[in-house]
Amino acid sequence: MKVTGISHIAIAGDNPEQTRILYEDILGLISGSSEVVEQEGVTTHFYKAGESTIELLEPLSAETPVGKFLEKRGPGLHHIALEVEGLDAYVRKLKEAGIMLLSDEPTLGAHDMRIIFIHPKSAGGVLIELCEHQ
């Protein structure tokens, strides 16, 4: 039961071409695969940064959580994802401590990882994803 690193930093974006030019052409990050995650209502584009990735989220529609985030706050940092070992034990520990989660149990995210989100109200205003390889 431990945090092994930062899996990714997720950014809500409305201008993927500007992002591509900066991250790929100028900073030289390797661009990974794109993936539609229907459950989260987003298309994700990954850019590799060392052991971690920067994940650009584009909403599938204005009605999705990321679509609403963009309308309310504009493009910018959306959440961070910590890779863990022992996700189920973490979920029990978080619940015992009264930490608010966005779902009762882990769900399936991009790259076939099991994920759960900690509510920003319980985490200093930061949406934190915990994720674990299956």
> Residues in the site for its own copies, rule: CB under 8 A?
1-6, 9, 11-15, 18-19, 21-22, 25-29, 49-52, 54, 56, 74-80, 82-83, 90, 93-94, 97, 99, 118, 120, 122-126
Please say which residue, 91 or 110, places its beta carbon nearer to its own copies: 91
Q: Which is nearer to its own copies, 49 or 60 (CB)?
A: 49
Please spell the DSSP secondary structure of 81-124, one letter per residue.
EEEEE-HHHHHHHHHHTT--BSSSS-EE-GGGEEEEEE-GGGTT
Which one, 42 or 56, has the nearer CB to its own copies? 56
Question: Which residue has tokens 């149990």?
Answer: 105
Task: Name the minimum Å distance from CB 73 to its own copies.
Answer: 8
CB of 33 to its own copies, least distance (A): 19
C-beta of 59: minimal distance to its own copies in Å? 14
- The burial of 42, by beta-carbon neighbours within 10 Å (0-12 exposed, 13-18 middle, 19 or more buried), is given as buried
What does the DSSP 8-state code read for residue 29? Answer: P
Select 38 or 121, whichever has its Cβ closest to its own copies: 121
Q: How far, in Å, are 44, 105, 134 from residue 11 at the CA level?
A: 10, 24, 24
Shortest reach from residue 5's CB to its own copies, in Å: 2
Q: How far apart are CA 92 and CA 61, in angstroms?
A: 33
